[in-house]
Amino acid sequence: MEQKNVNNVIRLKQEYEKNIRPALQKELSLKNIMQVPRIKKIVVNVGVKEAVADSKELQKVKKKLAVITKQAPIETICKKSIAGFKIREGMKIGACVTLRNKKMYEFLDELINLALPRVRDFQGVSKKLDGRGNYNLGVKEWIIFPEAEDNGMEKSHGMNITIHTSADNDEQAFALLKQFGMPFKKNK
């Protein structure tokens, strides 16, 4: 019989199961613990406009994204040709990572507690959700992540982080993210 390593349990997942889930059940007045919203996955996208002229730039972005997310990214391809941007259908123009389970909780913990506080003049993130219980966050520079320390020679890219939840509506998703410690903007 295999023993479970206590140190292998992710801090944020443990916090969700012990404290956040019961608190959300009370706050949202849900009868069953299985109705409590949870985070299903986190998707990280990076668009690389320089990949149109130089395909090596995409490889650099993929390496850095793999370091940040601790998972190998896939290349995203263009679905339509756009003549104004010199983009043709089928060109590789970005990288994408879908995080679930352990890596998802590790990334979320790092995002909330390490990366976002490193943003210059940080006032909090927007409270706006997408209407279906999911949250989109645009990051202008990936150097806010400790793993992506810039050596002065590389170009910094922005990224889109989408947090998919099982919430039925935006209010439940907002309550879930607030319990996780997402630093939303304060009302004035």
- What's the pLDDT score for residue 43? 92
**Per-residue model confidence as pLDDT tens digits over 84-138:** 666 667 677 788 899 988 888 888 888 888 787 777 777 778 888 888 878 888 8
- In this structure, are residues 13 and 105 in contact, taking their beta carbons and an 8 Å threshold? yes
- What's the pLDDT score for residue 150? 60
Alpha-carbon distance 97 to 70, whole Å?
Answer: 10
Domain residue extents for the chain: 8-48+96-180
**Given 3.90.199.10, 3.40.50.12280, 3.40.50.1100, 3.30.1440.10, which CATH number is that of 8-48+96-180?**
3.30.1440.10
**Per-residue model confidence as pLDDT tens digits over 152-163:** 446 777 788 899
**Per-residue model confidence as pLDDT tens digits over 54-89:** 677 777 878 888 888 888 888 887 766 666 666 667
pTM to 2 decimal places: 0.79
Which residues lie closer than 8 Å to 108 by C-beta, 6 or more apart?
Answer: 12, 39, 42, 163, 180
Alpha-carbon distance 164 to 99, whole Å?
Answer: 10
**Per-residue model confidence as pLDDT tens digits over 3-59:** 444 444 578 888 888 888 888 888 888 888 888 888 899 999 888 766 666 677 777
Find the distance separating the first CA and the last CA of the chain, reported in whole Å.
56
- What's the pLDDT score for residue 4? 43
